[in-house]
Amino acid sequence: MLYVIGLGLSDEKDITVNGLEAVRKSERIYLEAYTSILLVDVPKLEEFYGKSVTVADRDMVETESDAILDRASEIDVSFLVVGDPYGATTHTDLILRARNAGVPVKVIHNASIMNAAGASGLQLYNFGQTVSIPFFTETWKPASFVPRIADNMRTGSHTLLLLDIKVKEQSIENLARGKKIFEPPRYMSVSTAVNQLLTLLEEGAEGYTEEAYTKDTLAISLSRVGSDQQVIKAGTLAELAEVDEEEFGPPLHSMILVGSRLHDLEAEFIEAFSVSTKEKSQ
């Protein structure tokens, strides 16, 4: 059996009882380590599970899936995913490969940012399409995601923004030279995301539209949701741009752009996170 197991959002104890039982009876255990991260390192997981864990990077999962699936129809193999197994298309692809190879698959679900975003106080059924924001480069400032935000805004729906993660990435120079030298991991912060959104606005980037957002659009920052270090802040994009980056804390971060169909209960809930309210009380 191939077990595809959600680990939840925070630490080694967020795994479900079913997931833990599957891990402890598995002969091989892989940890997908490029679409998200837990707030604890691999040795902490190994200590809790009582099992050795192999870190599986993007290249291994996407091009060496045969190694993961090897003998999985004869023995138990666990593939661990931060959040929920269906939170990234890569995991769907692995499940399809397993099915095509005749390997039985069992998915064990867990919390992900897709539902934990409810910690903001916004009602999940008021969300539209989820959007990913990539890092800008010196020569590339993508705005292709902006129309999807605009689609949500036209219906008054909220937009969950997933912020970019760069793990085991190569520079263009090293990639061109075939050198297996990797850049340090990078995790987009709320501050970076807000600055990029405002840059597209200020520069009138192709693809940007005021229907998606302006500097006065209400936004909510989400940091380390589900952990004891959870931080949530609410304010306009212009207000969040003025918040010191350190106040959002370490990764992982995500954001929400609030749609016009804001219910009174939602508005009351997020008032507690308002950066403008805190400024007035100081």
Which residues are annotated binding-site positions for S-adenosyl-L-methionine? 9, 84, 87, 112-113, 163, 225, 253
Q: Would you list which residues are annotated within the binding site? A: 9, 84, 87, 112-113, 163, 225, 253
Q: Can you spell out the DSSP letters for 130-193?
A: -EEEPPP-SS----TTHHHHHHHHHTT-BEEEEEPEE-S---HHHHHTT----PPPEE--HHHH
Residue 242 C-beta-side C-alpha neighbours within 13 Å: 10
Give the whole-angstrom CA distance, residue 56 versus residue 65: 10
Sign of CA dihedral 27, 32, 37, 41: positive
Residue 248 C-beta-side C-alpha neighbours within 13 Å: 25
Close Cβ partners of 264 (under 8 Å, ≥ 6 residues apart)? none
Close Cβ partners of 63 (under 8 Å, ≥ 6 residues apart)? none
DSSP, collapsed to helix, strand or coil, labels residue 215 as coil
